[in-house]
Structure 1
Amino acid sequence: MEQNQREHFRQVFQNPLCADMTIVKIKDNQIDAKRTKTCILDIGPGGLRFYTNLKLPVNPYIVLEFQTRIMGQILSLPGYVVRKIDTEEFHEYGVRFVLDEQQQMELSSLLNTMTIRMRRNPNIRSCALCDSKNRVACMREMEDSFLNKSASDSPSP
């Protein structure tokens, strides 16, 4: 039987939490990469699990940043991939945050508040929750939205 090795609790979402993800650092070099939409499946003070169509390596030298809204606050959460599960269409990753103790305590407090409120109402509006419970449908909606936006941003001939 597989044992949970996490140090912290995790908030698992009925509907994924939408986030923008980007690569911010490779080794000691800052990177300015485009953002892509992802679905956060669960989150805790130590990390998160997310779903994306991108193939990413398990590598502590590649730091990603996830930007999302929790309890009305826009959060930027840096971390690196520690686990990867490939599926037919999308990929699932586990991320360990790169936060100092103060940031981790603040995130923990915010997540505790969110967990308490979500027990009463799992669709709280102060969080960037996806409209779809199905993460594949959510990812397809995000891809379609991105493609439509890219097409409308392109100059006309």
Structure 2
Amino acid sequence: MLYKRNEYFRYTFDEPCEATFRLIKDASESSPEEISKKGKCTIIDISPHGIKMYSELFISIEKLNHVELQVTLDETPISLIGEFVWSHRKISGYEYGIRFMDDEKRESLIINELKNRRKKEIERKK
């Protein structure tokens, strides 16, 4: 595994987090054009710069490389726009690596939501 020195952290969920996604035409637009209906996925891990998701659906990432994810890590729903970087076939579906577009506000929201989620997980274990 390649070590990314500039990566803050990568949070791996004990139980994958439910989310939805839709394929979009161009992630650089202010209101991206939808080219698919919403699909269900699970988030395996997340960092402020990317995400690993699992879906039963096959996505041809060479042709359809932009995606919008809707996820609630703790309490606030977050819309994340990114591009597919890699995909791996699994027994009953596919894992995808997605790199987010640079956005400091979104990065800090992800970090804060994960901190709050982790605090609640620790409290439940006590």
Instruction: Using the aligned pairs only, state the percent identity.
Output: 25
SS of the aligned residue for 1:80 comes to: strand
> For residues 86 and 65 of structure 2, what CA distance do their matches in structure 1 show?
13
The size of the alignment, in residue pairs, is 121
| C-alpha contact 1:59 1:82 (8 A) present in aligned 2 | no
Matching of residue 79 in structure 1 with residue 82 in structure 2: yes
CA–CA distance in 2 between the matches of 1:119 and 1:4?
Answer: 28
What secondary structure is seen at the aligned counterpart in 2 of 1:114? helix
What SS class does the counterpart of residue 72 from structure 2 fall into?
strand
Structure 2: 5+ residue stretches without partners: none
Which structure: greater helix fraction?
1
Q: TM-score, normalised by structure 2?
A: 0.80
Q: What is aligned with 2:21?
A: 21
CA contact (8 A) 1:10 1:42 kept: yes
Alignment CA distance shift 1:60-1:8 (3 Å): farther
Residue type of the partner of 1:105? S
RMSD across aligned C-alpha pairs, in angstroms?
2.5
Which of residues 65, 68, 73 is equivalent to 1:65? 68
Q: Output one character per residue of 1:53-75: Cα deviation in whole Å (capped at 9) or x when no partner.
A: 12223459732111122221111
For residues 82 and 101 of structure 1, the distance between their equivalents in structure 2, rounded to whole angstroms, comes to 20
Gaps of 5+ in 1: 123-157
Higher strand proportion (structure 1 or 2): 2
